[in-house]
């Protein structure tokens, strides 16, 4: 059996986080109508140009085994969401990355990871429920579902309805968490982590559109209209429903639930075990050179 190396506590989580940071940065640049492209090397043929978060996530392999574990866990969020919803993979990745980043800050302050996880888990059920309560079940022309995988998205919309897109449904799902008080400070902190993470998809969409996230967030929250939001394609504010900027409610729900599941797993991890690096092979001795006769 090959030798293994072990990491514990903060060292383990920080190494995982570095791998997640690298993967998240590659994936989140694709989010939104003004998302950027990623070029993937292929073993044979020309490079592949993509703007799909799940494709980017599946292509990333990091050299450090502990960092690669973190990247793989974040990749799992995208894969789960793709399998169950058919879309929302980049949103799920962005949510998970923010949940984990915020959670690690609280752990560094000495909070209990299991209590933080309970707080995150408690806040998820009301969040998706709020999104579903805001969903419209009216029949909607399928061409309006402007998502990468129209077939999966249409099926998801039929199942649970549609909500305003552009990260607005997740942002407004925070209303379900306002006023909630959990039994302990640590659990309550987990709830606040979810509140902050729900802003992140909108922030990233705006950033990819080369606008200022804080200004857009303020403008969206200033309106009491649930469909009011920011259309990154036109850089205009208005009724996202009328603009055709919509998402299936099922996609938003599963993106948040899958992100919270992986975040809770990472925050409660205290040991990592990976293969030890193999020692470099000794260089071969130089062959003896024959003595030249004089």
Q: Is residue 292 part of a domain?
A: no
Q: Is residue 290 part of a domain?
A: no
Predicted confidence band of residue 77 (pLDDT cuts 50, 70, 90): very high
> What is the span of the domain harbouring residue 112?
4-275
Q: Is residue 285 part of a domain?
A: no
Q: Is residue 284 part of a domain?
A: no
Give me the pLDDT at residue 259, please: 96
Give the number of domains in the chain.
Answer: 1
pLDDT at 138 over 70: no
Q: Is residue 250 part of a domain?
A: yes
pLDDT at 292 over 50: yes
Closest CA to 259 of 113, 126, 130, 79: 79
Q: Is residue 283 part of a domain?
A: no
Predicted confidence band of residue 156 (pLDDT cuts 50, 70, 90): low
**Nearest-angstrom CA–CA distance, 88 and 248:** 9
Q: Is residue 293 part of a domain?
A: no
Q: Is residue 282 part of a domain?
A: no
221-234: string of b/e by CB count within 10 Å (b at 16+)?
eeeeebbbbbbbee
Give the burial class of 244: count Cβ atoms within 10 A of its Cβ; 0-12 exposed, 13-18 middle, 19 or more buried: middle
Give the count of beta carbons closer than 10 Å to the beta carbon of residue 151. 12
**Nearest-angstrom CA–CA distance, 240 and 78:** 25
Predicted confidence band of residue 283 (pLDDT cuts 50, 70, 90): confident
CATH of the domain at 92: 1.10.560.10
């Amino acid at each position: 059996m090959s030798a293994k190396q072990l990491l514990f506590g903060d060292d383990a989580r920080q190494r995982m986080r570095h791998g997640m940071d690298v993967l998240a940065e590659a994936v989140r640049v694709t989010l939104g109508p003004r998302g950027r492209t990623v070029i993937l090397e292929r073993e044979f043929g020309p490079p592949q140009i993509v703007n799909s978060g799940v494709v980017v996530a599946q292509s990333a392999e990091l050299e450090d085994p502990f960092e690669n574990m973190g990247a793989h866990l974040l990749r799992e969020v995208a894969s789960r969401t793709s399998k169950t919803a058919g879309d929302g993979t980049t949103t799920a990745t962005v949510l998970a990355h923010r949940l984990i980043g915020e959670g690690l800050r609280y752990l560094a302050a000495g909070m209990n990871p299991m209590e933080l996880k309970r707080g995150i888990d408690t806040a998820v059920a009301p969040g998706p429920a709020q999104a579903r309560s805001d969903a419209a079940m009216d029949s909607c022309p399928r061409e309006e579902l402007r998502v990468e995988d129209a077939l999966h998205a249409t099926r998801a919309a039929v199942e649970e309805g549609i909500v305003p897109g552009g990260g607005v449904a997740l942002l407004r799902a925070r209303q379900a968490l306002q006023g909630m008080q959990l039994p302990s400070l640590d659990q309550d902190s987990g709830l606040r982590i979810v509140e902050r993470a729900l802003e992140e998809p909108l922030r990233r969409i705006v950033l990819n559109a080369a606008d200022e996230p804080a200004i857009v967030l303020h403008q969206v929250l200033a309106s009491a209209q649930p469909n009011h939001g920011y259309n990154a394609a036109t850089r205009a504010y208005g009724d996202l429903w009328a603009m055709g900027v919509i998402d299936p409610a099922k996609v938003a729900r599963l993106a948040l639930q899958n992100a919270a599941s992986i975040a809770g797993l990472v925050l409660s991890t205290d040991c990592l075990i990976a293969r030890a690096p193999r020692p470099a092979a000794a260089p071969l001795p130089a062959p003896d050179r024959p003595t030249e006769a004089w």
